[in-house]
Amino acid sequence: MDLAGIINGYLRRVPAWPLYMVAALWGGWLFWLAATGQLGVEPINRLEREYGELGLKFLVLSLTVTPLRKWTGVNLIRFRRAIGLICFFYIVAHFGVWTLLDVRSLDRVWADILKRPYVTVGMSAFALLIPLAITSNNLSVRRLGAQTWRKLHRLAYPTAILAVIHYLWLVKGFQIAPFVYLAIVLGLLAARIRWNRRLAAA
């Protein structure tokens, strides 16, 4: 058996629920650090950023599941739903910290969403994540049909692009991290387009 087969054999025995637990504990731990003043001089802003970056990491990770299988044979498909939902929960936390602890005024929340372009773009990415999260269950796959469901979940690509634009727009001065995310997302998107073209030509 090849290495990918051995890894897949081990992975088949690992349930998805520990992933949810670790993500929840990590999110809670960050919150506790912020609440007890152990997250630097601006704990609310830092917490907001930590959740945002975690959400983006899981979003990108969810997009790498298929390419990883195609390129290496390692199959993480059993964990894809958990990865996607964890992304969503971190972004809900990101949005929650921003609205409830940072801005703390409904008028300003609306004003920022409408007037600050990086917030508008972040909000658009969040809006696209909602149908993906709502349909991340077997019942939705059955109701929509596998093909429609797959089409709907391609929304993850524009979501990731909007999320990276959000990041690029909000950083002050030059920072390498958002460009690294941009390169990864564009690379994954290009690979997806190439596969689809090959499939159409076959």
Among 93, 126, 132, 156, binds ligand HEM (CB under 6 A): 126
Contact between 27 and ligand HEM per CB under 6 A: no
Q: For ligand HEM, which stretch binds (CB under 6 A), given 25-33, 122-130, 135-143, 187-195?
A: 122-130
Tallying the residues shown for the chain, one arrives at 202
Contact between 95 and ligand HEM per CB under 6 A: yes
Contact between 80 and ligand HEM per CB under 6 A: no
Residue 196 burial (CB < 10 Å; 0-12/13-18/19+)?
exposed
Token pair 């498909």 is found at 77
- When the beta carbons of 38 and 196 are compared against ligand HEM, the nearer one is 38
**Closest distance to ligand HEM from the beta carbon of 89 (Å):** 12
Contact between 43 and ligand HEM per CB under 6 A: no
- When the beta carbons of 79 and 98 are compared against ligand HEM, the nearer one is 98
- 180-188 own/partner pairs: CB under 8 Å, 24+ apart: 181/56, 181/60, 184/60, 185/60, 185/63, 185/157, 185/160, 185/161, 188/60, 188/63, 188/64, 188/67, 188/157, 188/160
Categorise residue 37: left if φ over 0, alpha if ψ from -120 to 50, beta otherwise.
Answer: left
- When the beta carbons of 155 and 170 are compared against ligand HEM, the nearer one is 170
Give the sign of the dihedral formed by CA 43, CA 44, CA 45, CA 50.
Answer: positive
Q: Which positions lie near ligand HEM, rule CB under 6 A?
A: 45, 48-49, 52-53, 55-56, 59, 91, 94-95, 98, 113, 119, 122-123, 125-126, 129, 159, 163, 166-167, 170
